[in-house]
């Protein structure tokens, strides 16, 4: 028998509760339009995805060209686009090898599997435990939501996989105390995005790497939100002078076309021997064409450098504008990943911003998160910040007036 006929939102599982009332139908650059033709300034970029703005010309043309030729062949064939993209990513950072998938959760899943398998099959030990941090976010698969340091994403999914331990972020003593003879890796975001825009302290980041070297642990850098120029460097870890062993990417890598990547150092090659891991749609010719065009544009236009400048100037502007607001806790971040923390919940302020034609997002109950396109015009950026500051200044106890 068929199901009951339903349509519209009733035909969808209710796991997504749309936060915004606008139904967006068009985007270009840092502007989007709803079905009624109303224009909005987008300072969230689809949660750090459209880093080159909406429908960037170079990526659009690369996709059109690829769609005219070849869409999918499977990883039973060598795919030239994968090889080119892997080389570009290796050149941009400290990794040597790449595995391509479709999302950030899949990239982190691959990193977890690689860390465990490398210890078991290559080193021949029984280490399997991975230390993660409170307030972190690593994905929605069973393994990655278990790695995530937020209980809300785990509700109802018991029993969860074993082998994950959580400690306080930016607390080196707690981290060292958690390491034991089962530990194989540490996974961290160098700026926690979903958890409140919390940057790692320089001493903490250096200490994490030092502990990994001391105990023979792999360091996994979750760069899904911080990678691809977002923080003012191509990768967030590059601000700290440390090199991870494994890097995970997604979000901004394909400018809106789904692609994820797990990168690793050369010594990890045998951890993923033939047949050990795979993905039907990972690294298709179409996905790789979008990512290649994205990286080429990033390099050509020096967008990480631009993000660093606009982010620094933007945070200074916000701090000055909000200095007298009695509920301001801090304005913090790296590059164009910025959090504005208030003493009260900020949902009402975010909704008031939408009514004023400005799209921002939260990072926890009390933090407004800004994730504009790295290509945003300076007048758009600073004008948007001034408008947001005005809305915040009119708020009281988290309620916009």
Beta strands in 60-108 (DSSP E): 97-101
Same domain, yes or no: 119 and 13: no
Same domain, yes or no: 263 and 127: yes
Q: Which residue has the tokens 């939408």?
A: 354
User: In the listed set 300, 329, 348, which residue is the last one of a domain according to the structure?
Assistant: 300
Same domain, yes or no: 85 and 225: yes
User: In the listed set 270, 300, 330, which residue is the last one of a domain according to the structure?
Assistant: 300
Same domain, yes or no: 270 and 343: no
Same domain, yes or no: 147 and 283: yes
Same domain, yes or no: 115 and 79: yes
- 167 in a structural domain: yes
Give the pLDDT of residue 132.
Answer: 98
Same domain, yes or no: 231 and 279: yes
- 2 in a structural domain: no
Same domain, yes or no: 255 and 320: no
Same domain, yes or no: 179 and 320: no
Residues near 99 by Cβ (< 8 Å), separated by ≥ 6?
A: 110, 261, 262, 263, 264, 272, 277, 282
Give the pLDDT of residue 10.
Answer: 86
Same domain, yes or no: 234 and 169: yes
Give the pLDDT of residue 214.
Answer: 98
- Torsion sign, CA atoms 37, 41, 44, 48: positive
Give the pLDDT of residue 395.
Answer: 85
- What pTM, to 2 d.p., does this model score? 0.96
Domain that holds residue 37: 8-56+302-393
- 122 in a structural domain: yes
CATH number of the CATH domain containing 32: 3.90.1150.10
CATH number of the CATH domain containing 230: 3.40.640.10
Residues near 261 by Cβ (< 8 Å), separated by ≥ 6?
A: 85, 89, 98, 99, 100, 101, 107, 248, 249, 250, 253, 291
Q: Which residue has the tokens 């030092």?
A: 210
- 398 in a structural domain: no
Same domain, yes or no: 306 and 344: yes
- 1 in a structural domain: no
- 213 in a structural domain: yes
Give the pLDDT of residue 397.
Answer: 65
Q: What is the DSSP string of 4-63?
A: ----GGGGS-TT-----S--EEEEEBTEEEETT--EEEESSHHHHT-TT-BS-HHHHHHH
- 401 in a structural domain: no
Give the pLDDT of residue 131.
Answer: 98
User: In the listed set 271, 300, 329, which residue is the last one of a domain according to the structure?
Assistant: 300
> What is the block-wise mean pLDDT of the chain (401 residues), using blocks of 10 residues?
71 86 95 97 98 98 98 95 98 98 98 98 97 98 98 96 98 98 98 97 98 98 98 98 98 98 98 95 98 98 98 98 96 98 96 97 97 98 98 79 61
When divided into structural domains, the chain yields a total of: 2
Same domain, yes or no: 40 and 101: no
């Amino acid at each position: 028998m068929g199901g009951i006929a339903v349509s519209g939102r009733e035909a969808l599982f209710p796991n997504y509760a749309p936060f915004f009332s606008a139904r967006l139908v068009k985007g270009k650059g840092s502007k989007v339009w709803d079905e009624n033709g109303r224009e909005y300034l987008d300072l969230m970029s689809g949660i750090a995805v459209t880093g080159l703005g909406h429908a960037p010309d170079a990526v659009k043309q690369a996709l059109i060209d690829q769609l005219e030729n070849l869409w999918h062949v499977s990883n039973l064939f060598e795919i030239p686009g994968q090889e080119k993209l892997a080389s570009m990513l290796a050149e941009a950072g400290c990794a040597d090898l790449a595995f391509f998938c479709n999302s950030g959760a899949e990239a982190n899943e691959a990193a977890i599997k690689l860390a465990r398998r490398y210890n078991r099959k290559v080193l021949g030990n029984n280490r399997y435990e991975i230390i993660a941090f409170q307030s972190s976010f690593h994905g929605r698969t069973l393994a990655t939501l278990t790695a995530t340091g937020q209980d809300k994403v785990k509700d109802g999914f018991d029993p969860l996989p074993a082998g994950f331990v959580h400690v306080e972020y930016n607390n080196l003593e707690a981290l060292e105390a958690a390491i034991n003879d089962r530990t194989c890796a540490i996974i961290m975001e160098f700026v926690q995005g979903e958890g409140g825009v919390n940057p790692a302290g320089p001493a903490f980041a250096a200490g994490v790497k030092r502990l990994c070297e001391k105990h023979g642990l792999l360091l996994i850098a979750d760069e899904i939100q911080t990678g691809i120029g977002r923080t003012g460097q191509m990768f967030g870890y590059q601000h700290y002078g440390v090199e991870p062993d494994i890097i995970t990417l997604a979000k901004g890598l394909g400018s809106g076309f789904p692609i994820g990547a797990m990168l690793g150092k050369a010594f990890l090659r045998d951890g993923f021997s033939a047949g050990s891991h795979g993905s039907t749609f990972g690294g298709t010719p179409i996905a790789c064409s979008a990512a290649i065009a994205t990286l080429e544009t990033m390099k050509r236009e020096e967008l990480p450098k631009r993000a660093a400048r606009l982010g620094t100037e933007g945070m200074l502007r916000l701090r000055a504008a909000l200095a007298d607001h009695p509920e301001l806790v801090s304005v913090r971040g790296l590059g164009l990943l910025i959090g504005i923390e208030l003493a009260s919940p900020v949902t009402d302020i975010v909704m008031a911003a939408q009514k004023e034609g400005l799209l921002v997002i939260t990072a926890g109950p009390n933090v407004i998160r800004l994730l504009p396109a790295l290509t945003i015009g300076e007048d758009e950026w600073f004008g948007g910040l001034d408008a947001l500051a005005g809305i915040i200044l009119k708020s009281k106890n988290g309620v916009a007036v």
